[in-house]
Amino acid sequence: MRSVLTALAIWFAGLGAAAQFGKLSVIFAELGKAYAGHGAVGLGLMVSIIGIVGLIFGTTAGMLVSRIGPKRAMLGALLLGAAISLIQSFGLPFGWMLASRVPEGFSHLTIVVVGPTAIAATASPRFQGMVMTLWGSFFGLTFTILALLAPQLVESHGTAALFQAHAAWLILCFGVLAVLMPKDPSRLGQSAERGLIAQHIHSYRSPRIAAPSMGFVCYTVTYVACLTLLPGAVTPRWGHATAVAMPLVSIIISLSLGVWLLSKMPAVRVVQLGFGVVILASLGLWFAWGQGVAEFGFACLIAAAMGTVQGASFAAIPQLNASLPDRAAAAGAIAQLGNLGTTTGTPMLALILAKAGVSGLALFLVGFSALGIALHQWQARRRRI
């Protein structure tokens, strides 16, 4: 029972980390009024700067976690995140608000690096696929919850209440995990003693550490872009339904069919299978373009397949890496390359849609999905050598 509660508490901390993005996204219009004159670019930077921190320091965070231990890292990140949210609730000037997002980015990065490493340790090999898939759902589920609850909270009590609620959530997670998370190991693996550059080289040379992140970047570059742009590109009367259904279908399939597949085959194979279904569904969407309900169906199929890729990518971390330092390094690489995908995917697809329409969309999805399959096949061959 303790391991189940620990896994759930770590997942709740992941929800809090995702809310470090989502709490600003859901009040973007209010931020525009509060910081009038700073433009959409400035506001966009305020939201995305957390991802930039992860892009630059993802692998570094994995190294630091392996040095100081997952429990100390997680608890420190939760306290830092709570303190920053509380400070932000006082309505900071634009410059200070933007500056506060940098240390918040380090808090977010630490949680998403420790999370998959720590949650994998709570489960036996039989249930690791389930807990890693649960972890993988934290981002999409958080945005769905915020979209449903945050507007009412802000309307009734103002934006400060949202930041204070977020701080309270992180403090609650801190208290629970301080009791439930096991003590950090007294001795760390050799990889924890490598220098910064050597750690990067080691991580991306290793076919075990790097493999989950190399498939994951092909997922993030397409998934976030599709969630953002596909609803506005399909037949107008199906746009809202597509926007609501895609993230929900992704989460539901990941936690049901995805978990079942992980009990039947290795995580890497599930990732490749998911990318294969994305290719077929993308071609179906291409042929069905303009047919309303068929567009909606193929868009949901794409989201469902991507949901299995997401969960299986996290499940691949403990399957391919036995030691704590290597798991932390793999989680750091996922954070780093995942942020690369989320940062570049949406502007890339926006340009492709403007220039090539649905043909470009299909090529975008097919190309990155095929690349994900090929990268995993290449890394699997390297592991056999």
* Domain-located, residue 225: yes
* Domain-located, residue 227: yes
* Domain-located, residue 177: yes
> CA-CA distances (angstroms) from residue 202 to 59, 143, 323, 343, 372?
10, 34, 14, 25, 21
Note the pLDDT tens digit of each residue in 177-188. 999 988 887 665
CA-only gyration radius of the chain, Å: 20
Domain ranges, residue 131: 2-188
On the question of pLDDT at 281 being above 90, the answer is yes
- The answer to whether residues 181 and 215 belong to one domain is no
Note the pLDDT tens digit of each residue in 72-109. 999 999 999 999 999 999 988 988 998 999 999 899 98
On the question of pLDDT at 283 being above 50, the answer is yes
For residue 75, give the amino acid letter: L
Residue 338: closest CA among 252, 210, 244 = 210
- The answer to whether residues 246 and 165 belong to one domain is no
- The answer to whether residues 239 and 166 belong to one domain is no
Look up the CATH number of the domain holding residue 77: 1.20.1250.20
Note the pLDDT tens digit of each residue in 64-73. 777 788 899 9
Q: Pick the last residue of a domain from 188, 216, 249.
A: 188
Residue-level pLDDT at 68: 83
User: What is the arithmetic mean of pLDDT over 268-276?
Assistant: 96
User: What is the arithmetic mean of pLDDT over 293-315?
Assistant: 91
* Domain-located, residue 78: yes
pLDDT band at residue 303 using 50, 70 and 90 as cut-offs:
very high
User: What is the arithmetic mean of pLDDT over 193-201?
Assistant: 66
- Average pLDDT of the chain is 86
Note the pLDDT tens digit of each residue in 6-65. 989 999 999 999 889 888 877 777 877 888 777 766 777 777 778 788 777 777 777 777
Give CA 119 to chain center in angstroms: 15
Q: Pick the last residue of a domain from 164, 188, 212.
A: 188
- The answer to whether residues 76 and 218 belong to one domain is no
Residue-level pLDDT at 192: 47
* Domain-located, residue 314: yes
- The answer to whether residues 182 and 210 belong to one domain is no
49-58, 280-289, 375-384: the lowest-pLDDT one: 49-58
